[in-house]
Structure 1
Amino acid sequence: METMVGRNARIVSVKGREVLDSRGRPTVEAEVAFEGATNTQSVVRAMVPSGKSTGGAEAKELRDADPGRYAGMGCLEAAKSIGVLGKAVVGMDPTDQKAIDAALLELDTSPQKDKSGIGANAVLAVSMACCRAGALVKGVPLCRHINDLAAKAIGEPVRMVMPVPCLNVINGGVHAGNLLAFQEFFLIPAGAESFGEALRIGAETYQVLKKVIQEEYGLRDTAVGDEGGFAPNIASPEEGMRLLMKAIERAGHTTKIFLGSDPAASEFFKDGTYDLGFKSAQVGGEKKSAAEMVELYEKICSDFPMVLLEDPFDEEDFASHAALTSKVGDRIEIVGDDLYCTNCSRVEKGLESKATNAMLLKVNQIGSVTESLDAWSLCRRNGWGVFVSHRSGETEDSFIADLSVGIGAGHIKSGAPCRSERLAKYNQLLRIEEELGIPYAGMKFRTPWDF
């Protein structure tokens, strides 16, 4: 609901700068100056994350490709692009997110409309910063402003909920140096009564898990990875699940914490088969057909208290996703990440084939707030869950915390309860819960609208 202040506000200037993400690699920050009705000028900023395990259909970042600087990963060109993009939105009302993003997207002249020329990282930085400015102009928390935008996107009021934190506490895949093919293993405290309790029992279990891993594998295996999870010297997903269950039981939270996993199967899909030994020096590895992978997932879901599987097959393997969803989708959320890349056209394909029952939402996969809301609303209209996510290369920007609440996503992943760039999101959610008294999604994380 716009105020007189909002209708008289305008963006005054936009500039970009190169900053570093949590891996010490460059990313970009947009700085937006704006005026309200009193002509008082304020400044907001937004930083963009970057993924390592990326989908082929993701919008494209702009990198400098100068081998003599940050090994070619510099973002000076993207920072410069922010300045160019800014000229398109100067004078616009920061509360009008849809118009702002439309103006930004008009500058995307790439043949595939993947933002490769102007940089998805540059577009998103401006889009997020303007969204933050819009909330300040309206005098409301960012999550409430996003909630207004979400209601406009779907054409009806959207109930805000506190999301279930899905804590990535064991790492494998391309995120770790062990032999584990599956990329992420989650603690999912859906049985808690509040977000605050969920984060507490998740953090308690994480600390117990550290002790369990140290007892069984030694101190060296308790070092943490990019997302704060441990990477013990294990090779099978079942061993990862066993460690989680041991920690949950020792912490005393067996009735409140469930399990989930992101195999990120595109990373070990080779020559038509799924090679669970792809990181091993052993010739041949442990290769499985798609049908055999379905059987493996069914067994894991039967043997452990699983509630979520993300990207269990290759990013183009819609048929295998559909086969698994038809078998376990009534009780397990099957989430498409690389499969969809927060892209409406790919979600439409997933809906037609009944490939999954949920989509992972990563704002930098698509590159603007409005396009992210479009993908969310498409899923919501079709009864799919939406799982908001960070990236492995993160920043201290907590935008996705407010996003997850504003769209009533029901669940969020931002890594383990460790490392400040991860905790920035979880701590912001603690503030939101305290200040606004929003209910916790809990066991309804898949259908948060169904309270």
Structure 2
Amino acid sequence: MSYSGFLNNNRHVSKEVREFYELKQRAAEYYRTNGVPEKIEDVLNSMFYKKPDDVYGYLANYFSNFSKPPRISNLVGKEVYDGKGQPIVQVEVLCTIQSNEKCICSAAISSHCEPPGSDYALPEAWEMDDTKRKESVSIALQWINKPLAALLKGHEPADQLKADTLLSDFFQVHFAEKQEQMEEEKKQQELMVAVESEPLHPPQPSPAANKKEKRASGKGKKTSVPEKPIPPAEPQELVLPGSMAVGSVSLAVCKAAAVLSSIPLFQHIFAINHQQQMMKDIKMPIPMISLLSCGKSSPGKLNLMKEVIVIPKPGLTFKQSFNILQELQKQMIKLMDTASKTGPILKTVSDLGALVTGFERLEQPLDLIREASKTLELTVGEDLHLAINCAAHELIDYQKGKYEVMTGTPKNPNEMVDLYVDLISRYPAVIALIDPLRKEDKEQWNKLYTAVSSKCYLLAETASKPISSLLVEEDLTVPGFSGVILKQTNQTTVSDMIEINRRMRDQKRITVFGTTDGESSDDSLADLAVGVGARFIKLGGLCRGERVTKYCRLLSIEDELARQGALGPAEKHEFPVLTGETEADPPS
């Protein structure tokens, strides 16, 4: 008779014995259902023959192969600060691993709110921007700690596309709600204005006005033909408060997946981008390093060059490029100190990490770089090339309808085109112009593209649409611009960055991964640029820690790729000239 039969037939067995027997039965069934006896027998047999020194380590490794995949258990949002001391959000990802909750990683991206105009905006504008930023951070933290944490709970970090789809859908719902709210507020304002401005009686023209009209209609002196007015500024794209939560969580999930897979972040992103293909011939992005800042906020008359950027020639390693530009910057400082009549110059650094210097003419900063290069036995145009961030939107005077390229030297959009064509003809080493015009000056973008695109990239940064809008565009191969500077800010997910880079590359556009003026200390952008295969990376200058940390990460990635034999050579600069039948818009 079995023990269970004995229990059933013997009514004198105590309650405690019966309950203990039932407990053992449930335990045996639980272990049998999960295959534990078989696995224990298997590992004990194999371990006996292998006789590992670390018995319990061997057991732990064996059973870890059967554990459930890590899943997100919680998200924690925290307020941190970027390189300018502005608040941003940091996201921590917690996962359940082998029945224990662990913090896997943290991530932060830069926030890009509606800009107050430029570095020289009025204090009131900066105060308003600061208020908006604080509001956005507060909303982002609420989203991360509650709805987004609940949305991604139980999700596997390795499934990046699913996570980003959930995040984007969440954003779209709130974005649509905000748009409806703004439309309703607009209707209410228009209604109030219409009621307040409605006159009781139509105004009658005065006799004096009639006389002036008659006098004006008669013959008079000849007047000069007025210039064609510039297009008005387009409304700014709506930046949804709290949207930085979406991009931050997306990056944090991506980093968590890489940590859990015990691989570098760039390798994980490469696997997503190339459907798990083996790493080989991975090309490092070519650095675009800002050495000088001669924009509107710098001393001197010159306003046009917010950033004077140096681009090492393709074929150099990232380490070689970085070292060359470090030496070049030192040599430039020596030359400026020597030329100064008042002793060593004041080393002011811009938010982008470049030296802020004042010049009177367009040629001076370019000549300085050329002279410094000669002392290092480098040839500008061969060993090094140049790019200029014109930041034209900061130079426009809407009352005059002209750009103030230098103090007291205004130029209309057509004159700006002539200026750039002449500058590039005299300095052929300049192979890229960033934001040479406002995005509204579509006609002049096309003229400039026709004139210089065979030898110079026209890149849109502020003049570009946000990535979410670019992803809607089916065809990016319209003339007017050569490429876009892509930034992971606000609601931009990792999947968005991968997809827009693929589309730009497929349609022969240049991809540049860039940073905002206020950059976080997170170095993930370096991994992202390598993983998706960006052509260039624009991180700013060499004089701010939050930027140098990304350069250091790129150096580490290059070393790792070289050790694995997966480092590929950089391609030469190519300038594809694209034409179209329809009038082309810059990525406005």
Q: Secondary structure at the match of 1:31?
A: strand
Q: Which residue of 2 aligns with 1:167?
A: 289
What aligned pairs does 1:323-342 form with structure 2 within 5 A after superposition? 323-342=447-466
Equivalent position amino acid for 1:441 in 2: A
**Do structure 1's residue 355 and structure 2's residue 480 form an aligned pair?**
yes
What aligned pairs does 1:20-419 form with structure 2 within 5 A after superposition? 20-36=81-97, 41-51=102-112, 73-74=133-134, 75-84=137-146, 85-108=148-171, 109-111=174-176, 116-117=239-240, 119-151=242-274, 160-173=282-295, 176=298, 178-179=300-301, 180-191=303-314, 193-217=316-340, 219-254=344-379, 255-271=382-398, 273-277=401-405, 280=407, 285-304=408-427, 305-343=429-467, 345-346=469-470, 348=473, 351=476, 353-364=478-489, 367-419=492-544
Q: Which residue of 2 aligns with 1:59?
A: none
- Cα RMSD between the aligned structures? 3.3
TM-score (norm 1): 0.85
- CA distance in 2: counterparts of 1:150 and 1:308, whole angstroms: 27
Equivalent position amino acid for 1:97 in 2: Q
Measured after TM superposition, the shift of residue 128 of structure 1 is 0.9
- CA distance in 2: counterparts of 1:298 and 1:398, whole angstroms: 37
Deviations 1:353-404 (A, max 9, x none): 4121211111116522122222212211101110111121112111111111
Measured after TM superposition, the shift of residue 152 of structure 1 is 5.3
Equivalent position amino acid for 1:257 in 2: L
- CA distance in 2: counterparts of 1:409 and 1:9, whole angstroms: 30
Deviations 1:313-337 (A, max 9, x none): 1123333222222221122121121
Deviations 1:33-72 (A, max 9, x none): 124568673421111224589599xxxxxxxx99799766
- CA distance in 1: counterparts of 2:553 and 2:305, whole angstroms: 29
Q: Secondary structure at the match of 1:261?
A: strand
Measured after TM superposition, the shift of residue 349 of structure 1 is 8.5
Q: Is the 8 A contact 1:263 1:312 kept in 2?
A: yes
- CA distance in 2: counterparts of 1:152 and 1:274, whole angstroms: 49
Equivalent position amino acid for 1:276 in 2: E
> Which stretch of structure 1 is more off in the superposition, 432-441 or 126-135?
432-441
Pick closer, same or farther for the CA change 1:229–1:275 going to 2, 3 Å.
same
Counterpart pick for 1:16 among 58, 77, 96: 77
- CA distance in 2: counterparts of 1:322 and 1:68, whole angstroms: 35
Measured after TM superposition, the shift of residue 25 of structure 1 is 1.5
Pick closer, same or farther for the CA change 1:69–1:115 going to 2, 3 Å.
closer
Pick closer, same or farther for the CA change 1:142–1:246 going to 2, 3 Å.
same
Measured after TM superposition, the shift of residue 408 of structure 1 is 1.1
- Max Rg structure: 2
Deviations 1:291-330 (A, max 9, x none): 2211211222222211211111112333322222222112
Q: Is the 8 A contact 1:175 1:225 kept in 2?
A: no
Q: Is the 8 A contact 2:140 2:241 kept in 1?
A: yes
Pick closer, same or farther for the CA change 1:360–1:250 going to 2, 3 Å.
same
Unaligned regions of 5+ residues in structure 2, if any? 1-64, 118-124, 180-236, 577-588
- CA distance in 1: counterparts of 2:501 and 2:376, whole angstroms: 35
Percent sequence identity is: 25
TM-score (norm 2): 0.66
- CA distance in 2: counterparts of 1:211 and 1:131, whole angstroms: 44
- CA distance in 2: counterparts of 1:5 and 1:37, whole angstroms: 10
Counterpart pick for 1:443 among 545, 568, 572: 572
Equivalent position amino acid for 1:47 in 2: A
Equivalent position amino acid for 1:339 in 2: A
Larger relative contact order, structure 1 or 2 (CA cutoff 8 Å, min sep 6): 1
